[in-house]
Chains A and B, each alone.
Chain A
Amino acid sequence: MKFSDEFEARFTEMLTHYPTRRSALVPTLLYAQDEVGSLSDEVIEELARRLDLTELEVRNVISYYSMLTTKPRGKYNVQVCTNIACMLRGGEELLDHCKKKLGVGHKGTTQDGLFSLEEVECIGACSWAPAVQVNYDFHENLTKEKMDQVLDEYKKKLNH
């Protein structure tokens, strides 16, 4: 299968970092997921071939890491932290609010394919709890209202 030139450049460079090819698996999976959206059978097959692994071995690694997924996600992956600091500052209520607002549960994806929702462990933003990570962006000190704004902005982003 074909990846972007940017991916290929990163992949080639990555191989030089490690003594064995297989060591490049985890970062490569993350890059591929960012590019394709999920780690489809096609991606798994391709990466197994490139890194001289069996498909099973690639699947073993994917299933180990919660940030890697074989199922397509929405365009924006809303990750709500409910670990201790966020929990004390209303993280769980925030999660419930998102569930209601988006109409999906944990690891669910909205029908329009725009949002996925996920309850995650600590994302390292305790000082600004409750915090939510959408793809690679952080949104902090959230309330239900602020959360609505955040989600609306993402919706708007798409329309432009």
Chain B
Amino acid sequence: MADVTLTVDDKKITAPAGTLLIEACKSVGIEIPSFCYYPGLSLQGACRMCVVKIEKMPKLQTACTTVVTEGMIVATDNDEVRQARKAMVEMLLGNHPLDCPVCDAGGECELQDMAFSYGASESKFIEAKNHKEEQQWSPVVYFDRPRCILCYRCVRVCGEGMDVWALGVQNRGVSSIIAPNEKDHLECEECGMCIDICPVGALTSGAYRYKTRPWEMNHVGTICTHCGDGCKTTLGVRRCDTGMEIVRGDNRDKSGINNDFLCIKGRYAFDFAHHKERLTQPLIRKNGKLTPATWEEAFELIGKRFREIRDEVRDHDGGSAIGVIGSNRTTNEENYLLSKFARVVLKTNNVDHHRTADFPALAAALHGKPGKTASMREVLNAPAILLLGNDPTNQHPLLAWQIRTNVRLRRAKLYVINSAPIKLRRQAAGFGMVPAGAEAKAVAFLAGDDSLLDSLLDSKASDSMTRDAWIGLRDKIRAEQNMVIAFGSELRGHDIEKLVSFASTLTGAKLICLGDYANSRGASEMGLYPDLLPGYEPIASADKFQKEWGNLPAEKGLSLPEMVEAAKAGKLKALYAVGSNPVGRLGIDPFVFSKSFVVVQDMFLTETATIADVVLPAANAYEKTGTYTNTCGDLQLVKKAGEVTNTKPDFEMMVRIADAMGSDVSGLVPFGSGTHSDMGQTRGAQSGEADSHAVWLEAHNLEPKMTPFDPMAILDEIQRVVAGYHVSRVNLLAGNDQHLEIAESGASAIQNPELIVPANDDLFSSGTLGRYSKTLNSVFENKSADAEVAAD
């Protein structure tokens, strides 16, 4: 739109026609205060804080609802305006409890800031204040009614933003109150958006309330460790007896791909880190019982046994008897190192992980088609989105938020093809419901195979679409330009190939493959496969890695089910599970490994750890530094925030094991050369003086600058060797997300699609990790209790 010129506080400013005055002012650095105005939500005009004087208008106007016009002359800070704002603050404080010293929002409160700015220090209101007891609306949401200033931000973000509509306003005038949908409690997605958006301390969270003061925490922006969307979460940490405790999660800096959004997991489910069952000592099986041991003892034992098994078997039949299982939640650096460690040190290609999506198939299908994957940010701006399978509201909450926001604010067209009436159908311009498992047929139909149309019609579904409706939907989808196509694990192998070839017939279509867990994509791209090396490089053509890593085993290794078979046959002598719980998650009979030497690195005594011979207590993703690649292929920096004494990052443990096996560690981690150096990232530079480890090292003048435990050294190698990862390091360290080009692996990389097992997590579960989150469990129990009541 054309620009208009106006004068604000004697300054000429220009803004596109249609811009709100408050935004136009903000763009030139003039701040207009407001409570109810929130970018991206509908206008409310309730708080009257943003009033400004506009010439030729008789009364003060609200800048949040006024659109700029040519020649407008505005005063944002004259005596009249200041007086009006002061009066508003005074009125709001009239019934405000002023319990700031104990309020969670104290120090971060917008009302406090306003009172500070406009100095309504004197209260003319002398009557007794209306008091109401605090109410608990759900395990995570508490409401303190007298603190509420009725800005309605929570109501709007819950309804418009989340499409949950669980909050409303009841009564009117001075007796207006925010009310939950179930009379005295909330039935909702528990995302906590209402709490984060509350300008005061009216809505507080069960996880954080009355725990600490905001200024007592250090804040570290890192990436959430739950689903594959890669939201940035800012963790507030505080020193405690056992290291650094994470007290709060939010997204106040809003610099991440998630902007305003976080779901319950990113906001509250960090509490697994301080679960009482957390392992903080290495365990070694002695006389059939896992017994606490020292790190040295553990590394020595593992080193000795791994070396024996490797050498013994190699001397006999040349094959390998060691299996390695990687994690979907460890960093790229750890996954890469594990991949390398297995091949170079353990001399085996028996490497696998819990596969939740067919990323290699996408890489293979996109061979020779650069620029065909979409980033998470692109979903927010794409003119059209096609969603095939999956239920993003539950499994990819950020993706669902991006889609909803795009539809709401930019009128994007959403097309949903699913076997269930998922919630996003409410935003869809077209919803095609197919029988379970028919997603791939729908793709073939979209591509032009009319013979499959009958199999899409669901005779059992009452709202099944007619043939004509399907053809109409197809026509609409085919006509879309620059569409983002997101598909779930319903599509695998050759189906992805078909989807890609259909997408190539559309103008500008880009793809997103949806996998579960925080770093599934990273695990996949770092080569945790028996037949693929980092960058989906097939074992068969490993020249690049031969040069980089030295001699590699040439034969394709065993996949996870094959390892299980080998173990049954007594041929798998050792199993090394790093941050994964195959026994628990994939339903493997634990007795299968009774004859193998099992080493598990994990935070908890998982089903897999209970059968181990050695268990090493691992640090989680909130306690170390590295990078994650989200399901779209956006690379982001993971920063150390918390710390639990006597746990170690998986990275360090792998290096120590290699060292104990007598390997040359400098060949494994190229430290002490190249462009890297530990600038504090591994410890979390922002943890500052409260980082006990750093304080100790510094005090003894031992602060390591270049060590074999420095994941940045491996990042150097990843960026050099793995296709697609050569992005700006500066941007990465600055905390920006960068979209990666998916490595072109060639057509040989079709995996076994039957090995993909979706996690099927919902909003309140998160694989093995979810079990150790008090918050997720409390919500879960609360929900199931409700369900029972409803069944009565």
Contact = CB atoms under 8 A, between A and B. Distances in A.
A59 B171 contact: no
Nearest to B180: A56
Contacts of B181: 54-56
Interface residues of B, number: 11
Interface in A107-154: none
B169 interface: yes
B165 A63 contact: no
A135 B624 CA distance: 71
Contacts of A60: 168-170, 179
A57 interface: yes
Contacts of B168: 54, 56-57, 59-60
Interface string B154-169: 0000000000011111
Contact of B165 (A57, A59, A64): A57
A59 B179 CA distance: 10
B162 to A, nearest CB: 13
Contacts of A55: 181
Given A56-B180, A63-B170, 19 more contacts: A54-B165, A54-B181, A56-B165, A56-B166, A56-B167, A56-B168, A56-B181, A57-B165, A57-B168, A59-B170, A59-B179, A60-B168, A60-B169, A60-B170, A60-B179, A63-B172, A63-B179, A64-B170, A64-B172
B160 to A, nearest CB: 13
A64 B165 CA distance: 18
Interface string B568-607: 0000000000000000000000000000000000000000
A64 B172 CA distance: 5
A56 B181 CA distance: 5
Nearest to B187: A56
Interface of A: 54-57, 59-60, 63-64
B438 to A, nearest CB: 30
B42 to A, nearest CB: 15
Contacts of B167: 56
A60 B181 CA distance: 10
A122 B179 CA distance: 29
A56 B171 contact: no
A55 B182 CA distance: 9
Contacts of B170: 59-60, 63-64
Contacts of B180: 56
Contacts of B165: 54, 56-57
Nearest to A66: B172
Nearest to A41: B183
**Dominant SS among interface residues on chain A:** helix
Interface in B483-499: none
A55 B183 CA distance: 10
Interface in B181-198: 181
Contacts of A59: 168, 170, 179
A149 B724 CA distance: 91
Interface of B: 165-172, 179-181
A56 B169 CA distance: 9
Nearest to B181: A56
Determine which residue in A54, A57, A60, A64 has the highest number of CB atoms from chain B within 10 A of its CB, and name it.
Answer: A60
A106 to B, nearest CB: 15
Contacts of B171: 63-64
A57 B170 CA distance: 9
A59 to B, nearest CB: 6
A63 B168 CA distance: 11
A57 B181 CA distance: 9
A159 B85 CA distance: 61
A54 B166 CA distance: 9
4 A-B pairs with the lowest CB-CB distances in the bound complex, closest first: A63-B170, A56-B181, A60-B168, A56-B168
Nearest to A64: B172
A57 B180 CA distance: 10
A64 B175 CA distance: 10
A125 B168 CA distance: 35
A27 B4 CA distance: 44
Contacts of A63: 170-172, 179
13 contacts: A54-B168, A54-B181, A56-B167, A56-B179, A59-B168, A59-B170, A60-B169, A63-B170, A63-B172, A63-B179, A64-B170, A64-B171, A64-B172
A122 B171 CA distance: 19
A65 to B, nearest CB: 8
Contacts of B166: 56
B165 to A, nearest CB: 5
Contacts of A56: 165-168, 179-181
A98 B165 CA distance: 43
A81 B179 CA distance: 30
Determine which residue in A55, A63, A64 has the highest number of CB atoms from chain B within 10 A of its CB, and name it.
Answer: A63
A20 to B, nearest CB: 16
A63 B166 CA distance: 16
A55 B170 CA distance: 12
A145 B166 CA distance: 51
A59 B182 CA distance: 11
Contacts of A54: 165, 168, 181
B199 to A, nearest CB: 21
Determine which residue in A54, A56, A57, A64 has the highest number of CB atoms from chain B within 10 A of its CB, and name it.
Answer: A56
A66 B418 CA distance: 46
A71 B172 CA distance: 18
Contacts of B169: 60
A57 B167 CA distance: 9
A75 B180 CA distance: 32
Contacts of A64: 170-172
Nearest to A53: B165
B434 to A, nearest CB: 26
Contacts of B179: 56, 59-60, 63
A48 to B, nearest CB: 11
Nearest to B170: A63
A57 B169 CA distance: 8
A101 B332 CA distance: 81
A55 to B, nearest CB: 7
A59 B166 CA distance: 12
Nearest to A54: B165
B391 to A, nearest CB: 21
Nearest to A63: B170
A126 to B, nearest CB: 23
B163 to A, nearest CB: 11
A55 B181 CA distance: 7
B167 to A, nearest CB: 8
Nearest to A55: B181
A55 B169 CA distance: 12
A60 B171 CA distance: 7
B194 to A, nearest CB: 14
A121 to B, nearest CB: 12
A149 to B, nearest CB: 36
A60 B165 CA distance: 12
Nearest to A65: B172
A58 B731 CA distance: 49
B137 to A, nearest CB: 13
B271 to A, nearest CB: 30
A56 B180 CA distance: 8
Nearest to B183: A59
Contacts of A57: 165, 168
A39 to B, nearest CB: 13
A63 B176 CA distance: 9
A94 B52 CA distance: 48
A23 to B, nearest CB: 18
Determine which residue in B167, B169, B170, B180 has the highest number of CB atoms from chain A within 10 A of its CB, and name it.
Answer: B170
Contacts of B172: 63-64
B726 to A, nearest CB: 50
Nearest to B165: A54
Nearest to B155: A60
Nearest to B169: A60
A64 B168 CA distance: 12
A71 B259 CA distance: 44
Nearest to B173: A64
A27 B385 CA distance: 40
